[in-house]
Structure 1
Amino acid sequence: MLCSYSKILLLCVLLTNTIILAQGEANIWYFGENAGLDFNSGSPVALLDGQLDTFEGCATISNPEGSLLFYTDGITVWDKTHVVMPNGTGLSGNSSSTQSAIVVPRPDFPDIYYIFAVDAQAGSNGLTYSEVDLSLNGGNGAVTAIKNVPLATPTTEKITAIEQANGIDFWVVGHRWDSNEFITFEVTAAGVNTTPIVSATGQVHTGDNDGAIGYMKISPNGEKLALAKTYENSFVELFDFDTVTGIISNPIFITGIFQTELEGPYGIEFSPNSNLLYISDVNAFANTIVHQLDITFNNATDIINSDSILYNGQNFIAAIQLAPDGKIYLANAYLPFLDVIESPNEIGAAAGYSNQAIDLNGRFSVFGLPPFIQSFFNFDFTAENLCAGNETEFTLETNEDIISVLWVFGDGSTSTDQNPTHTYAAAGTYTVTVTVNTQNNTRTISDEITIFDTPVANKISDYFLCDDSSNDMMEEFDLNTKIPEVLGNQSAALYEVAFYENLSDAENDINRLSLLYTNTINNQEIFARIFTIENNDCNAITSFLLIVTDPPIANEVSDFIVCDDSSGDMIEQFDLNNKIPEVLGGQSPTLYEVAFYENLSDAEIDINRLPLLYTNITNNQEIFARIYTIDDADCFEITSFLLSVIEPPIANNVADVELCNDNEPINLEQFNDDVLGQQSSAEHTITFHISQEDADNDTGALPLIYQPISNPEQIFVRIERVTDSFCYATTSFFITLGEEVEAFEPEALTLCDDATLDEIEVFDLSLQNEMIINGQTGTYTITYYTSQIDATSGSNPISNQYTNTSNPQTIFARIGDSNNPFCFATTSFQLIVEDCEFFIPQGFSPNNDGLNDVFEISGLNKFEGYELQIYNRYGQLIYNGTNEQGFWNGIPNYGLWNRDNLVPVGTYYYVLFLNNPEVTESHTGNVYVNY
């Protein structure tokens, strides 16, 4: 019996390299204030349907498949439907007894179970048993007439059970009060043997009846028994247990490590591998300490010295119970949580204690958890070396004699070996199932194992450091810097790296080196081991050298001079790559690198490195170059040089050249003065090229006496400084060649003076074009001028319809190649105005052939009012015209003749009236019309 105190919870971590498995009989738990857990999914899930409300003791039993059969607090029994069984009340246990009940099946009778119950605080009911028959009550079970059968009294509140060595029968163990006697009862197919095997060993349990409180457990392998005595004179005892005889022997008394305030040890449990013992150590002030003891030692001193405290806090941690998932759960009194130990086979903190880890979904834990036959947790297997590509070793752990076994590894492979090895090709989670046939039954268990990738030990570059002034070739190396190389693309969250002086140490993971390590010899080989964080056995090894080198030499560097661009700001981009060979000298670029800086301070501490394409800030700016060992940037020397920008020459424009082709070469040197302008010819070199690329690269310079090869042809000019040939400028011009032309002199152009008699007339100058061309082939442009100067320069041309300004007047003509107007020639001719007599032709032929198509009388310019009349041979007037028409085209415009057609061929008569006061007579005659 325990008093009500505070609350606590715990979480645990499952051991990666060992997988623990169990049968389904322990998969359902009911305890505390209507609390429950279901382990059938592999993880505990809170149950809310439990009817049990108990202060301490309780018991639950399920079938091998994990389905609930019934549960009890030692007084009342509920069936799998949570209804009280017929005859299921009034059992002689006590809900305030530490282990008020435990359920044990009757061998060979699958429907018969025995509830062993103990009274509280050495009460008079002592140890009894009752029988449950599941075939009754429609298969839901009932308590039979075999009820509250006394076995011993008075007893402590302790009871535990284990399978016998024969794998069929069971031992049920209690402890007398005021005695040191254990009483072991045998359960066989015949039922319960009420005559106990008595083992008088260890301490006498006596004193105040509260001293009867505390748990007792047998180890899962059946080899050990441990108990906790609470309250006055509290202690823990550890014994050997014989599963063949049921005899308990060889006590080890454990004390001196528990709290002295009232209670002391209460809950107790073994690890799944039976090597560790867990104890909850409580006091009246609700302070609990959870101890872990290593019981592989066979004496009290070493066991006590192995004590690891996993929890020390203000929650009241009471019962401790191993579960089917291989974890240990702890009752956290009056809290809706349980604590958990995730990896109970691990020593110390690696066991993974977690407070308030399992949520009971509002139901409360008190002090007790249901105990089970400890053999339920002994049929298991371990899997070790969980690395892909390596042999994983499986070990079956059971005390039973095995007839046959079948392993299914989850990747399609099987084995019938009892303890097989299997190689997984790939990492992943696999469900492993083992079916075991013994003399008495067949058991199948399965669970998931995780196979981890075996890491790759990537090749590591040798580690170089610069020797210091001691010149002893010994330096401190930061091995941290090599970890990323070993990892490569592998995650540092999954893998770790350690370093060793030799291969043996690396293989056995001993004598790890400090990450700040001083070599013992130069060119020393160091071994790196990369391993999976969750599984150190998955590893790979590589090596590298620790090399101490002499410092590099920073050779003298010439100043870096470039030519300013057109901006004139003396700011330019420098390709510092060009200076690296000078800094290196003959030193290998595979061992040393060069970086550049704006000031000495930056170079010394290697900050603010300049880009290799760098734009200067000021002219003649000093730049610092640091040469350093590639594998050790602290091994360096520094030099400097200037960045200088000089003004470029000016490539002045050269006017395009237009020449008439006379097949003579051109002297390109004649253009030098144009290119130079005011610049000194002694300080500059000028070359001529046929392309911009040649001019930029200073290749393919043309001879100075040059015969053009195309028309037109672009010539590219490069002007560069004599002292700095890289500083240059370019320009270009065209040479165009045209065909020579000749201007032939035409005859004078003559017109008759008009009526004004002012000797001024309008001349059509284009009439001279044909005579000027005189049969030359080509396309020509002819323009006219009033002076030779204008004709030569092509300035001030006059209109082809030109009115003379003097009589006679000289006109100048310019004939030019239309495609190359710079090829031209000039000539001249006279414009003459004469006082002309008029002329009357004697016939015409209006047939539109361009010759004599009209009857036109010349010389009438000065007779502005003349009138011309035409008559047919009948004396009929058929045409009447004036100087407005100026001619007769052979079509009548008067009389009855057809006015739309030409007159017939024949002779017609004309009368010309001049209508001039000075000339009064008329002129008559005939004109012949012929087509």
Structure 2
Amino acid sequence: MKKLLIILFFLPLLSIGQSVADWWYFGTNAGMHFTPTGPVANLNGQMYSEEGCSTISDEFGNLLFYSKGDFVWDASHNPMQNSTGLIGNASGPAPGDASMNSYIVPRPEHPNEYYLFTVKSFYGGMYYSKIDMSLNGGLGAVVAAEKNIPLIDSTTEMLTCLRKPNNIDFWVVALRKPGDTAYAFEITASGLNTTPVLSNTGLPLIEGDQLGYLKGSQQNDKIAMTMYWALVEQTNPFKVHLFDFDNVTGQMTYDYGITPSLQDTFNYGVEFSPNGNFLYVQSFILADLRQYDLTSGDPAIVSASEQMVGIGYTGSGGGALQLGPDGKIYVCRAAAPFLACVNFPNDPGPLCGYDHNAVSLAGPISNRGLPQFYPFFIEGDIAVLDKCFGDTSFFFSNYLSSDSVFWSFGDPTSGVNDTSTQINPFHIYQTPGTYTVTHIAYSAFLSDTTIVEVNIFPNQIVSFPDDTILCDGQLLTFDIDQPGAISYLWQDGSTDSAFIATDSGLVKVTFFGVCDTVTDSVQVIRLAPLNYELGLDTVVCGASSIVIGDTVSFGYNVLWNTGDTDPFIEIDSTAKYLVSISSDCGTIEDSIQVSFFPNLPDSLLPPDTINCFDASFTLVRPTTQGISFVWSDSSKSRTFDVGESQIVWLAASNACGTYVDTMNVLFNGELMTDFGPDTVICDLDTVLLKGTDSLATYLWNTGDTLDSIWTVLDERTQRYSVTITKGECSKVESIRFDLDDITCPSIDCDVEYSNVFTPNGDGINDLFRPTTTCNIYSYRLTIFNRWGQLVHETRNIAYGWDGYINGEMAGEGVYYFTLDYQDEVVVDVDRNVFAGSFTLKR
């Protein structure tokens, strides 16, 4: 299916839709399904064939069955009923698959009946069997009465199928050997005529001529043959042979041979381009792909036109070529996990678009064969003309082999008139626009779809305004572009669709369109320039009034938003002043923002100060209309609270500028100690008196000048005082201690431990863990072996030692430990260090 946008065209097109060739099974369980987006691998195939194979689908693209000559699989991929024992393929006297071991052809006007033609490999003959798809619940079966019916006693491994002129009936063609006789069997609605049409082709074959390919063109008028060379006496095995075929009579005659540039690589796969202008040939040995231009019909010219379009494959050699339902030629190579593809086979040389790795087979491999199909394309062209709105559009179908057509004009508003089955219909479109036209040609059970676009142009019109004014600095564009335009001619000889006027003068155009030729003109008058500038927005600092405005030329009127009409005015207040200047060109406006502001103050804050005792205070800023204030914390409040050392600044600003005043405030901080209140302590204890400010100086009543001192034990009542000085601030702190032995807590707790440790997992004495009646708040247990090496350490009294060192069991023997602990008693004498030993046994 192709989509084209043209005014008039004649082009043969190929349809891409559901077809008898939508499913392919081949090679080693390889499969492929043609979908609307392209071919995809299918892994359901059950067939293994080194060479030939065949597949058939119904006209809706549903798989029916596939074969390799001696067996048939149905659509469920199971053996077809009564397909065992077919004569074909390797059922001859020698083993191996035939190159074209099977071919499937439908019986016209009998949608359930198909003929399966088979040939035996090497020196076998040709047979047919009938398959009835109405049997076995719709899965089909080989008809017992028409199974393995002999047609030719000795053939090559090649056969092909071409259509008769009515595109309904078929010819199945094979070559008998030895000799030059071609057999053409006719298939019509009446069935297979087993009496063949015989032709003496003029190319005699010997008994050893057998392996190769026989392919008919989509035009049903040419047959190409390749032949693998196996014997010295074979008939011209190095050439590719072309035959003429008369699809009316079934007569086949030899035309000429193509001589490839390489003579010893054995020609094998062969296929015509859809238009019949090119022939593609693949080498059996090198798997290279060559293209020949057939249009001259001269053997020497055709041979010299050879172009290598596909690179060789490094596997086991080349195989079959087969045209797909998408109009592309697919290329198989022996033992390859993908198929190559010729994307544009109707184009010459490199333009044919060879793709070496076009379709992945998703695991299975191709061998040397692909399914063979009878010609399934029909050719023709259509003609569509763009029209003017209101005219009748005519459509022409040139598909000589079609038996019916269907048109859709893409104009649903026309109701039942939007479609037609006439060969050459007409249609009147309801509105101008671009419409999508669909044409489907039918021939027997073939179809070809073409999609084109047709333009329905509006009537051409040019409508210029009356004589017009062009003001200075302006451009006047006359753009008359519209659908259906052919050419334009302006008064200055220019031919663009648009003309730009820049000065006074006559503008005239003649417009040549598909539907009309029209002329129009307009006189353009340009006025003198206008220059009036109020200037940029203005800030006035300290002044009481200013004058604004500009001069204007004669013919312009001035109006201010103040009501004044003079070009200059005096103003004394902040406002936006707007002036309108009008003339025959229209009205232009300008504006200026004038803002009056007071001068800024030169002092905002008091001088720097020191605060000794952290007492906060509040600063208050001035208030002046037209001035904005911002504190150092980005606030704009009237007051600012100061509670710590900092540099406070206050900024005053307006459009005239900014002034910033600063004040350095130093808070020495609240001078503190952690003495606490007077208290009674144990007479065995001492207390550390500490200052908290490392920047301050200290003078104790003991004469000490350090920031911390210890109390003494020799007095029952003690008083301590300290003078703390920091900068210009000072403070005196004091505390009294009374010593009393009644306040001392008792320290009578004990630590116990076992001197034998048995970590054997029996749940008894598996951990070495000292126990105590003390209220422990500081604890450290360390264990050493007899060489003094640390083997365990913990600071948690709840944990013990399980007898392992770095995940390994410790050896038996004596181990030593130290226990450093402190009871929850606030006196200095409550710390104990305990040492001992124990024995580890297992």
In terms of Rg, which structure is larger? 1
Q: Which has the higher helix share?
A: 1
